[in-house]
């Protein structure tokens, strides 16, 4: 009897195993079917050109500024020559890709005349002077220690390395405004004086990239060494330029026949209000991915209008950038906005009466005479037109009047305030 029970239990266990195994085999068939489209390349043939950091062989719609930058570096082929340039412009205006393509082409152009090394530092990630110099050193000597050394010792190492390599180093400080806010501009002064007290010169050139007009926040000694005439201002892209950029990336990334000029034009039109090439590229990528993911044997393998609009809510297409919104404001409009930001750091909304009283406080802080009530109202309308603030009118509780409430739904007030505090003194 015992043996029979043991046998019966074994039979039941084997049956359970078969059921368990069969139950897990079936989903694997389903799972593989939905993964079949990965790498199928119905629409996206090469994803690299749809990446923000991709550097194309040819830079479209920035030829004029390539010439401007080359003019600032016209003497770079001379052994004792160092050059400077400052590139400013709004987000997505092609500042970084302009500098990257220029340095790449310059290295090739001077291959038999002068060895050029490049150290590209993103100051959003390395926002202190110490981290910046560490990143520069790693670019030319990957094994260089980055701990336990003071800024003075790091700069001394940099001097020795540039001399020892007998090559020319171009330092690119991208988004340099982040470092300037945190550490000031002393490191720029030190880099610009790298050849002092040494035999010979021409070991280091400097390129600064920023969304902001960094000359407004640099000390006179630094400005005199960089040179105001070395500033290159790049505007936002217009619709036709965005069309050319999106078409170039589509040609490089997508399967032929999966897109049309009309679709690329629609993408250009959607990104044109802020002139941001990154938005145009991201819209193209999102549309291509939307088309790719819905493919089956009965689907037309071409990007549709619905694909182009698929990620509007996520990408916030209609929003403007902080720099675009602030650029061109008059000094007192900046003071009004600063007053608003300081309140909206803590509150979700405020009234126009609050604005006027807080504006008076800010004017006292900056030793400025207040503008009239009418002028203040004009400033508020301008801020609303620039999408920096949003207004709504509500009835007072007793029903005898109306109050205008202000909010800032599209931006973080603390970010705007920090930019204004950096710029407003110079603008005044």
Tens-place pLDDT, residues 35-61 = 666 656 789 999 999 998 899 999 999
Per-residue pLDDT, averaged over 223-240, amounts to 93
Give pLDDT, residue 360.
94
Distances (CA, A) of 220 to 89, 192, 216, 238, 416: 22, 13, 10, 35, 25
Q: Is 101 helix (H, G, I), strand (E, B) or coil?
A: helix
Q: Is 392 helix (H, G, I), strand (E, B) or coil?
A: strand
Q: With CA atoms as reference, report the closest residue to 263 among 201, 312, 309.
A: 309
Is-contact 268 223, C-beta < 8 A?
no
DSSP state of 215: G
Q: With CA atoms as reference, report the closest residue to 264 among 231, 295, 298, 303.
A: 303
Q: With CA atoms as reference, report the closest residue to 276 among 236, 312, 323.
A: 236
Q: With CA atoms as reference, report the closest residue to 59 among 73, 43, 44, 70.
A: 70
Q: Would you list the DSSP string of 13-62?
A: HHHHHHHHHHHHHHHHHHHHHHHTTTTT-SSBS-SGGGSTT---SS--S-
Is-contact 232 86, C-beta < 8 A?
yes
User: What mean pLDDT is reported for the chain?
Assistant: 84
Give pLDDT, residue 362.
94
Q: With CA atoms as reference, report the closest residue to 116 among 69, 161, 167.
A: 167
Per-residue pLDDT, averaged over 335-355, amounts to 88
Is-contact 109 255, C-beta < 8 A?
no
Instruction: Determine the Cα–Cα distance for residues 245 and 282; give it in Å rounded to an integer.
Output: 12
Per-residue pLDDT, averaged over 402-415, amounts to 78
- 340 pLDDT more than 60: yes
Tens-place pLDDT, residues 1-29 = 544 445 455 555 555 555 455 554 444 44
Is-contact 107 167, C-beta < 8 A?
no
Give pLDDT, residue 17.
54
Residue 376, Cβ neighbours under 10 Å: how many? 18
Query: By percentage, how much of the chain surpasses pLDDT 70?
Result: 84
Is-contact 303 259, C-beta < 8 A?
yes
Per-residue pLDDT, averaged over 409-419, amounts to 79
Please tell me the total number of residues recorded for the chain in this structure: 428
Instruction: Determine the Cα–Cα distance for residues 30 and 100; give it in Å rounded to an integer.
Output: 45
Q: Tell me the residue ranges of DSSP E strands in 188-286.
A: 204-210, 231-233
- 67 pLDDT more than 70: yes
- 322 pLDDT more than 80: no
Which band of pLDDT confidence, cut at 50, 70 and 90, is reported for residue 409?
Answer: low
Paired tokens of 221: 């000694």
Whole-structure pTM over 0.85, yes or no? Answer: no
Per-residue pLDDT, averaged over 58-65, amounts to 95
Give pLDDT, residue 239.
87
Instruction: Determine the Cα–Cα distance for residues 248 and 232; give it in Å rounded to an integer.
Output: 25
Outline where 47-150 has alpha helix (H): 63-72, 95-109, 129-140
Instruction: Determine the Cα–Cα distance for residues 93 and 162; give it in Å rounded to an integer.
Output: 32
Instruction: Determine the Cα–Cα distance for residues 210 and 173; give it in Å rounded to an integer.
Output: 9
Is-contact 345 413, C-beta < 8 A?
yes
Which band of pLDDT confidence, cut at 50, 70 and 90, is reported for residue 129?
Answer: very high
Is-contact 214 180, C-beta < 8 A?
yes
- 246 pLDDT more than 60: yes
Give pLDDT, residue 364.
94
């Amino acid at each position: 009897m015992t043996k029979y029970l043991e046998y019966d239990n074994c039979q039941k266990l084997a049956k359970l195993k078969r059921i368990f195994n069969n139950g897990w085999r079936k989903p694997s068939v389903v799972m593989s079917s939905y993964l079949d489209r990965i790498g199928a390349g119905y629409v996206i043939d090469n994803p690299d050109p749809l990446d923000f950091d991709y550097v194309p062989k040819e830079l479209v719609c920035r030829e004029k500024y390539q010439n401007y930058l080359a003019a600032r570096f016209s003497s770079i082929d001379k052994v004792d020559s160092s050059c400077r340039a400052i590139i400013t412009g709004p987000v997505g205006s092609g500042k970084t890709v302009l500098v990257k393509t220029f340095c790449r082409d310059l290295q090739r152009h001077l291959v038999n005349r002068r060895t050029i090394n490049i150290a590209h530092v993103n100051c959003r990630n390395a926002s202190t002077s110490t981290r910046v110099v560490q990143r520069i050193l790693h670019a030319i000597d990957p094994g260089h220690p980055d701990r336990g050394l003071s800024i003075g010792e790091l700069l001394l190492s940099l001097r020795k390395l540039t001399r020892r390599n007998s090559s020319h180093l171009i330092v690119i400080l991208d988004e340099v405004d982040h470092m300037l806010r945190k550490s000031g501009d002393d490191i720029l002064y030190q880099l610009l004086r790298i050849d002092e007290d040494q035999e010979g010169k021409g070991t280091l050139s400097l390129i600064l990239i920023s969304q902001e007009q960094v000359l407004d926040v640099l000390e006179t000694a630094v400005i005199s060494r960089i040179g105001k005439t070395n500033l290159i201002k790049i505007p936002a892209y217009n619709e036709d330029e965005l069309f050319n950029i999106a078409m170039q990336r589509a040609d490089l990334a997508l399967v032929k026949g999966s897109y049309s000029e009309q679709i690329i034009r629609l993408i250009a039109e959607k990104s044109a209000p802020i002139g941001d090439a990154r938005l145009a590229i991201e819209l193209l990528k999102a549309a291509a991915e939307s088309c790719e993911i819905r493919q089956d044997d009965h689907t037309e393998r071409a990007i549709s209008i619905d694909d182009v609009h698929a990620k509007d809510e996520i990408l916030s297409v209609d929003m403007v950038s902080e720099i675009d919104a602030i650029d061109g404001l008059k000094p007192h409009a900046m003071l009004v906005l600063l007053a608003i930001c300081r309140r909206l750091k803590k509150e979700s909304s405020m009234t126009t009466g609050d604005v006027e009283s807080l504006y008076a406080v800010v004017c006292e802080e900056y030793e400025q005479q207040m503008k009239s009530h009418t002028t203040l109202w004009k400033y508020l309308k301008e801020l609303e037109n620039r999408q920096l603030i949003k207004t709504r009118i509500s009835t007072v509780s007793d029903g005898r009047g109306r109050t205008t409430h202000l909010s800032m739904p599209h931006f973080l007030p603390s970010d705007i305030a920090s930019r204004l505090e950096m710029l407003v003194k110079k603008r005044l």
